[in-house]
Structure 1
Amino acid sequence: MPQHVPSSLRTASSRGARPHPAGSPPPRRIVFLAHRDLGNPAAGGSEVLVDRLAEGLTELGHEVTLLCGGPAGHHVLRDYRVISAGGQAAHYLRARSAFARRVGDCDLLVEVCNGMPYLAPLWHRGPTLCLVNHVHTDLWRMRLRGPLAPAAHLGRRLEQWALSGAQRRGLLVAVSPSTANALHTIGVDRDRIRLVPNGVAEPGPRAGRSPEPLFLAMGRLVEYKRIDLLLRLWERVRPVTGGRLVIVGDGPEGARLRQLAGPGVEFTGRVSEAAKHRLLCEAWLLLHPSAVEGWGLVVTEAAARGTPAVGFDVPGVRDSIADGSTGLLAHGPSSFAAAWCTLALSARRRELMGRAAEERAAGYRWAHTVRQFRTVAAEAVRGRTEPFGGRAP
């Protein structure tokens, strides 16, 4: 079952879905404004979330459009409309004109804010809703260093103002309690935050567990995922556990990480959904050394296959891993290595945690996420600011 959520941070549907008042149905035409779509080579968890929401809302009868930057992945079949607003960076400046020229109007505009904002409430006259995976407070410094440090400071201030100032009249959707707390920390009023956790798909027939130790890390190869730290820890763990460390994904850090890798490490690059499913089933453990997440979708995907996870006690990861039950949370590199070895050497404990992880993941399904989001979307269109489930902490 899902983790306990304090009453002050309940989701819109945690007290039961309310009937929509006469004349206030859920919005029919919904536009998502996001950095990428799922067909983009750099797509990650945020793009998966938007795709599942868009697909689910379309199935419920809504007209959904995704206005995004970069290549729009037209080779990927979608039931909703996908429009490119321009390049990876230029589309932030072109979003307003692209919306006016190619979309025209909608009942609700959903701004997906992943660091750099679109400031949609300042130029869109209709209702808006802001979807936030995680606040990039510390990531600005991590990504922009040295001569770019002033830009990091500017980006941090712009994001904070956009979320707490430009969005001050609208609702914000957080994907985890950690994200909700981060939003409140930068000045967003608790009454405007709604919690809509990520879901997970039904995993389908289970592949067999690897007979030999197989440890899996999966995600974009970017700096804040800290795969370099994982590779250093592997040199300490490998003599104890043996086996293989398989790293799935690609990204700007790929070449550097391959040079750092020692014996027993395999990089697969991007893989198909079938291969991803097989690896998640075969793995003894999912290793997730990220410095911050919105939720940690891959943790729940692994849990749905009965695979426990080891991660750091950081925002997002502490929401997706129930420490001591579905996996272990570490407080530093040595603690991470110790947790890794402990579970690798105890088949019984891995089995118990895997069962708990699978049971917990069963409480998170995309259909439920879509219904929760639809409830908040209806509230945003009605212009109400009182929360369904009380104030955020």
Structure 2
Amino acid sequence: MPQHVPSPLRATLRRPQHPAAPPPVPRRITFLAHRDLGNPAAGGSELLVDKLADGLTRLGHQVTLVCGGPAAFRDYRVVSAGGAYAHYLRARSVFARQVGETDLLVEVCNGMPYLAPLWHRGPTMCLVNHVHSDLWGMRFGGPLAPAAQLGRRLEQWALSGRRQQRSLLVAVSPSTAQALGALGVAPDRIRVVHNGVEEPGPVTGRSPEPLFVAVGRLVEYKRIDLLLRLWERVRPVTGGRLVIVGDGPERERLERLAGPDVTFTGHVSEAEKHRLLCAAWLLLHPSAVEGWGLVVTEAAARGTPAVAFDVPGLRDSVVDGETGVLARGESSFAAAWCSLALSASRRAAMGEMALGHAAGFRWERTVRRFRAVACEAYRSASGTGGYASRG
């Protein structure tokens, strides 16, 4: 006797079977970046990628970083594609041989692009710390000016060209988003994901004597040479010491320029950086441009206000007049430096505001926001959903 099958189930069995929909999240995520965090020249961009890759791994994603130069062991996979510049040419072949299938390819564009949308057929997304428009001229001046012009054109084409028009771009600050818009990137393709900061742990003591700290890679656009010139105007007023934390190709020249009471530490441990940021009366940040200025938030998390120039990125991380001062020129930078050094009450008030402001920026939040944008980019490219509202 035939077995009785309820009519609703019979209808279900007759219904044609459709292929399973793609998963709602990209399980396999690959980053293409210039450096790994273990590279001696690593900076804020490398720290951001490391925090994103590590956080996504902890959320269950399979993450690979393809980079140039040395590759260190991480909880996620790191693959070196060659030397500092050769890896731009080898990234495609290394990706094909050692990565292969990935659900989402994230190109970290720091000036020189990988042109991933030209050769990768799957979903892509671009992470932009800052647009290098004005920096090309600082790096390639004089007889190398044609190289600067070529770099500017290549960067603009890579970020706003036709191949990128279906991809999302992640900017680390409103300033970077605005710069992308100026290149011709449509606003509905840009998402802002701010940098985070670690919970700093117990705050150590403030220096009893004036102590001013600058932290960053010693390269042209950080303008430490300008800071050293201003120190000669500020030191007779404030006294104290100026400590320069970091290393880079400019170090030897800068050490020759330095006057009295200036110390170059080179690279320091996280513990020593924590101690210096806690002890500092002020963080000084003379950079010409930043994506965000991560050390500003790191200092703020220790209750240390910043003096910086009113330039892209720093105008996002410094709340002018509250968590620090944004100077419009060299004289106003020196004036703010002296004024805050001579007013303990004003420094303390700004430090409290900086501490509260930094509490709103944590790496866990950054990772989850980035993951949401990654899922959006993946669903859109997979045909399972459109772009969500901008962040």
- TM-score range, shorter-chain basis? over 0.9
Q: Which amino acid is 2:138 matched to?
A: M
1:137 counterpart residue number: 133
Q: Give me the whole-angstrom Cα distance separating, in 2, the residues matched to 1:389 and 1:31.
A: 23
1:279 counterpart residue number: 276
Q: Give me the whole-angstrom Cα distance separating, in 1, the residues matched to 2:363 and 2:22.
A: 28
Alignment of 1:111-126 (within 5 A): 111-126=107-122
DSSP 3-state at the match of 1:110: strand
Task: For residue 23 of structure 1, report the CA deviation from its aligned partner.
Answer: 4.9
DSSP 3-state at the match of 2:283: strand
Deviations 1:270-313 (A, max 9, x none): 00000000001000000000000000000000000000000000
Q: Is the 8 A contact 1:176 1:294 kept in 2?
A: yes
Q: Give me the whole-angstrom Cα distance separating, in 1, the residues matched to 2:258 and 2:271.
A: 26
Q: Give me the whole-angstrom Cα distance separating, in 1, the residues matched to 2:225 and 2:164.
A: 36
Q: Identify the range of structure 1 (266-275 vs 166-175) with the bigger mean alpha-carbon deviation.
A: 166-175
DSSP 3-state at the match of 2:117: helix
Alignment of 1:177-256 (within 5 A): 177-256=174-253
Q: Which amino acid is 1:293 matched to?
A: E
DSSP 3-state at the match of 1:203: coil
Q: Give me the whole-angstrom Cα distance separating, in 2, the residues matched to 1:302 and 1:209.
A: 12
Q: Give me the whole-angstrom Cα distance separating, in 1, the residues matched to 2:147 and 2:40.
A: 26
Q: Give me the whole-angstrom Cα distance separating, in 1, the residues matched to 2:329 and 2:379.
A: 46
Q: Give me the whole-angstrom Cα distance separating, in 1, the residues matched to 2:177 and 2:297.
A: 19
Give % identity: 78
Alignment of 1:292-307 (within 5 A): 292-307=289-304
Using structure 2 for the length normalisation, give the TM-score.
0.92
1:4 counterpart residue number: none
Q: Give me the whole-angstrom Cα distance separating, in 1, the residues matched to 2:390 and 2:355.
A: 27
Q: Give me the whole-angstrom Cα distance separating, in 2, the residues matched to 1:345 and 1:55.
A: 42
Q: Give me the whole-angstrom Cα distance separating, in 2, the residues matched to 1:342 and 1:99.
A: 53
Q: Give me the whole-angstrom Cα distance separating, in 2, the residues matched to 1:94 and 1:216.
A: 39
Alignment of 1:350-361 (within 5 A): 350-361=347-358
Task: For residue 78 of structure 1, report the CA deviation from its aligned partner.
Answer: 1.4
Using structure 1 for the length normalisation, give the TM-score.
0.92
Q: Which residue of 157, 161, 166 corresponds with 2:157?
A: 161
Q: Give me the whole-angstrom Cα distance separating, in 1, the residues matched to 2:201 and 2:248.
A: 28
1:363 counterpart residue number: 360
Aligned residues: 366
Q: Which has the larger radius of gyration?
A: 2
**CA shift in 2, pair 1:44/1:95, >3 Å:** same
Task: For residue 47 of structure 1, report the CA deviation from its aligned partner.
Answer: 0.1
Q: Give me the whole-angstrom Cα distance separating, in 2, the residues matched to 1:167 and 1:368.
A: 27
Q: Give me the whole-angstrom Cα distance separating, in 2, the residues matched to 1:63 and 1:389.
A: 26
- Asked if residue 389 in structure 1 is aligned to residue 390 in structure 2, the reply is yes
Task: For residue 387 of structure 1, report the CA deviation from its aligned partner.
Answer: 3.7
- Asked if residue 32 in structure 1 is aligned to residue 27 in structure 2, the reply is no
Task: For residue 24 of structure 1, report the CA deviation from its aligned partner.
Answer: 4.2
Alignment of 1:95-106 (within 5 A): 95-106=91-102
Task: For residue 252 of structure 1, report the CA deviation from its aligned partner.
Answer: 0.4
Deviations 1:189-226 (A, max 9, x none): 00000000000000001110000000000000000000
Q: Is the 8 A contact 2:188 2:390 kept in 1?
A: no
Deviations 1:120-179 (A, max 9, x none): 011001100000000000000110011110010000000000000132110000000000
1:10 counterpart residue number: none
DSSP 3-state at the match of 1:215: strand
Task: For residue 49 of structure 1, report the CA deviation from its aligned partner.
Answer: 0.1
Q: For the aligned residues, what is the CA RMSD?
A: 1.0
Unaligned runs of 5+ in 2: 1-20
- Asked if residue 92 in structure 1 is aligned to residue 88 in structure 2, the reply is yes
- Asked if residue 265 in structure 1 is aligned to residue 262 in structure 2, the reply is yes
2:55 counterpart residue number: 56
Q: Which amino acid is 1:66 matched to?
A: L
- Asked if residue 336 in structure 1 is aligned to residue 333 in structure 2, the reply is yes
2:307 counterpart residue number: 310
Unaligned runs of 5+ in 1: 1-21
DSSP 3-state at the match of 1:353: helix
- Asked if residue 149 in structure 1 is aligned to residue 159 in structure 2, the reply is no
Task: For residue 25 of structure 1, report the CA deviation from its aligned partner.
Answer: 2.1
Q: Is the 8 A contact 1:192 1:385 kept in 2?
A: no
Q: Which amino acid is 1:115 matched to?
A: G
DSSP 3-state at the match of 2:249: coil
Q: Give me the whole-angstrom Cα distance separating, in 1, the residues matched to 2:240 and 2:108.
A: 40
Q: Is the 8 A contact 1:194 1:387 kept in 2?
A: no
Q: Is the 8 A contact 1:210 1:283 kept in 2?
A: yes
Q: Is the 8 A contact 2:377 2:387 kept in 1?
A: no
Task: For residue 385 of structure 1, report the CA deviation from its aligned partner.
Answer: 5.1
